[in-house]
Structure 1
Amino acid sequence: MRWFGFGFNAFGQIYDHDKLSKSEKIGTDEDVKVSSPLELTTGTDCCSKSVRIKASWSRRASLHLGGESCLCLAGFGAVTSTESSGALIKHSRGCTDVYISESYLTLAFPDRVEAWDLQKEEKTPSWSEEIRSQSETSGPPLSLPLVSGGYIAMKPPLYRSLSPHLKAKSLALSAAHAILLTASGAVFTWGLGSHGQLGHGGLTSEEEPRVVEALWGMSMTSVAAGGWHSVCISDGGDLYVWGWNESGQLGLPSRGLRKALQQQESGTPVLLLNYRDFSNTE
């Protein structure tokens, strides 16, 4: 699988500034911002061709799966903290999933989950927990940041419990809010709500998961979280967005469509388009 990156690149999380040829540098600010999709280089000693990419604001983790899997880090701290990054890569041998934030790197293994502090040169993880194998549990396998009984947060306490009644299928985290998809296709959000990112029709925060009533009755298949906005896709391929849109991050004009803006400001999910129709969009 080929991966491409674009956007903020001040820390080299998309490409190494020094290794990019002059002909590939289009503008003077190209080191800071990649305006067009650029294929990611995931060079490693691993022979695996199956790569899973996870990213935070300033870092990128490339997990090479198959055989004895391994992890490569790019971005902030990956070069200046060589010893620390090397230790993390060494301890990643055999992991099956990865999740990275600005402070912690979480690794999932067949028998355990570990969280490493990226700010420290640790020889042992900051947090770890044994997990049961898939043959001992019911339901589909969980992907990070979900773990058995809860999820791994971006800051301590790293482990947060979730009610088993939610039957979580996937979870997306931003720095201050969370969006959860259940096995039945319902969407729950909680955390900071100051920019309408929770989708509850207001700007208040929520301490516990609360269902997004505007989406009730429509089955969703995936969710994602931005800094102050949220996204989900329905079974039928409809893309719903809500939250902060100052820079047009919702894919809608930041000014002009009064009705859409009113819905965004109230924190109500807006149907953007059917993502299966991208090929027909000019």
Structure 2
Amino acid sequence: MRWFGFGFNAFGQILKVFHPKELRSYVERSGCCLKTSRISASWSRRASLHLDGECVREIATLTLCKLDLNRIGYTSCCFPGYPLNLPLVTGGYIAPKPPFYRPLSPHLTAKSLALGAKHAILLSVSGAVYTWGLGSHGQLGHGGLTSEEEPRVVEALWGMPMSCVATGGWHSVCISDGGDLYVWGWNESGQLGLPSRALCQDTASSPSEKPQDGEKHEVFISIQAFPALLDVTPSCEIRTISCGSRHTAAVTSEKSLLAVGEYGQLGHQTLISLDEPQRVEFFKEQQMCVVDVVCGAWNTFAAVAKEEVACS
């Protein structure tokens, strides 16, 4: 697969900001190419997972970034018992104790887990959705703004099996088995694909002007405290989805990429924020089939299929 990136670039994670740019898809090692198969995005770097090359039988994990660790005050530290040098901020440390472990309820068999800034969303093998953690922005989907210390089922979705969950900084999304998209949480930047007052005021000539008689009153949503079915136009099924801090990106059954939320990380080749999902035309114009998407906090990485695979 070929990977393209766009969005926040202060650390050199991507080669261009709001215009999709192909990442280096291979590295040379012993005369062989290790092709990129997966991207893991973070705040200041991107990590690429590479599969076997023709003459390489091991799996290599590479960190691709332009940070000069020594120049910005990083030191190298070796974890006890492991011959791997890890970059640490001066004064940083590695705790030798094992990670904190707390078992979930026996009836909770997890299929996948997504973590937001201060909340978690779990998809069980039965397709039920559970959330817990901070609820101040409605990101738990229970209809209120209170926090939960234990996993609690999202009752509004009960009886509708879900196939995928994802979470941003303060919002959550999931996809049903039928390809429908449900969203909830914070919508300040339009990241839920619902009308945002902040974005409307940016474009309105007189936002304080009252509607005239007979005009519709626009309903704006700052916080959506329970799951809402998002009506995507034109109608399509959603196959996979990923969330950044204030944006959301999804791959459709037609292998197009949709993006909504805060400006440059949407791939629309503009810095304008959107509160309605729009197709990223770059991939359509290049006749590319998008098959996967991974969002970092402020950037997006999209995978396209091999050239011989035709889009439906």
Q: TM-score range by the shorter chain?
A: 0.5 to 0.7
Q: Which amino acid aligns with 1:265?
A: I
Deviations 1:172-191 (A, max 9, x none): 11121111101010111111
Q: Which amino acid aligns with 2:8?
A: F
Q: State the match for 2:184 in structure 1.
A: 242
Q: Which has the larger radius of gyration?
A: 2
Q: Which amino acid aligns with 1:12?
A: G
Alpha-carbon distance in structure 2 between the residues aligned to 1:254 and 1:92: 50
Q: State the match for 2:68 in structure 1.
A: 79
2:117 paired with 1:175: yes
Matched-pair contact (CA < 8 Å) for 1:243–1:267: yes
Structure 1 residues 13, 158: CA separation in 2 closer, same or farther (over 3 Å shift)?
farther
Question: How many residues were matched structurally?
Answer: 210
Alpha-carbon distance in structure 2 between the residues aligned to 1:159 and 1:37: 40
Matched-pair contact (CA < 8 Å) for 1:44–1:72: no
Q: Which amino acid aligns with 1:248?
A: G
Structure 1 residues 164, 120: CA separation in 2 closer, same or farther (over 3 Å shift)?
farther
Alpha-carbon distance in structure 2 between the residues aligned to 1:198 and 1:49: 38
Structure 1 residues 65, 182: CA separation in 2 closer, same or farther (over 3 Å shift)?
same
TM-score normalised over the length of structure 1:
0.62
Shift of 1:75: 4.5
Matched-pair contact (CA < 8 Å) for 1:223–1:231: yes
The equivalent position to 1:269 in structure 2, one of 208, 227, 248, is 227
Alpha-carbon distance in structure 2 between the residues aligned to 1:180 and 1:213: 14
Q: How high is the sequence identity, in percent, across the aligned residues? A: 60
Q: State the match for 2:203 in structure 1.
A: none
Structure 1 residues 92, 248: CA separation in 2 closer, same or farther (over 3 Å shift)?
farther
Secondary structure of 2:107's partner? Answer: helix
Alpha-carbon distance in structure 2 between the residues aligned to 1:271 and 1:249: 14
Structure 1 residues 269, 12: CA separation in 2 closer, same or farther (over 3 Å shift)?
same
Deviations 1:11-38 (A, max 9, x none): 22223xxxxxxxxxxxxxx6xxx22322
Matched-pair contact (CA < 8 Å) for 2:112–2:165: yes
Query: Which has more helix, going by share of residues?
Result: 1
The one of the two structures with greater contact order (alpha-carbon pairs below 8 A, sep at least 6) is: 2
Structure 2 unaligned spans of 5+: 201-216, 239-251, 259-277, 280-312
Query: Following superposition of structure 1 onto structure 2, how do residues 83-232 of structure 1 map, counting pairs within 5 Å?
Result: 119=89, 126=95, 158-232=100-174
Structure 1 residues 209, 260: CA separation in 2 closer, same or farther (over 3 Å shift)?
farther
Q: State the match for 2:46 in structure 1.
A: 60
Alpha-carbon distance in structure 2 between the residues aligned to 1:223 and 1:183: 12
Alpha-carbon distance in structure 2 between the residues aligned to 1:266 and 1:200: 10
Matched-pair contact (CA < 8 Å) for 1:59–1:75: yes
Q: State the match for 1:11 in structure 2.
A: 11
The equivalent position to 2:24 in structure 1, one of 30, 41, 53, is 41
TM-score normalised over the length of structure 2:
0.57
Structure 1 residues 163, 260: CA separation in 2 closer, same or farther (over 3 Å shift)?
farther
Matched-pair contact (CA < 8 Å) for 1:181–1:187: yes
Structure 1 unaligned spans of 5+: 16-29, 94-115, 130-156
Alpha-carbon distance in structure 1 between the residues aligned to 2:101 and 2:168: 21
Alpha-carbon distance in structure 2 between the residues aligned to 1:231 and 1:212: 12
Q: State the match for 1:70 in structure 2.
A: 60
Greater Cα offset, 271-280 or 182-191:
271-280
Alpha-carbon distance in structure 2 between the residues aligned to 1:188 and 1:221: 13
Alpha-carbon distance in structure 2 between the residues aligned to 1:182 and 1:164: 12
Alpha-carbon distance in structure 1 between the residues aligned to 2:43 and 2:165: 18
Secondary structure of 1:161's partner? Answer: coil
Matched-pair contact (CA < 8 Å) for 2:39–2:48: yes
Query: Following superposition of structure 1 onto structure 2, how do residues 250-261 of structure 1 map, counting pairs within 5 Å?
Result: 250-255=192-197, 261=221
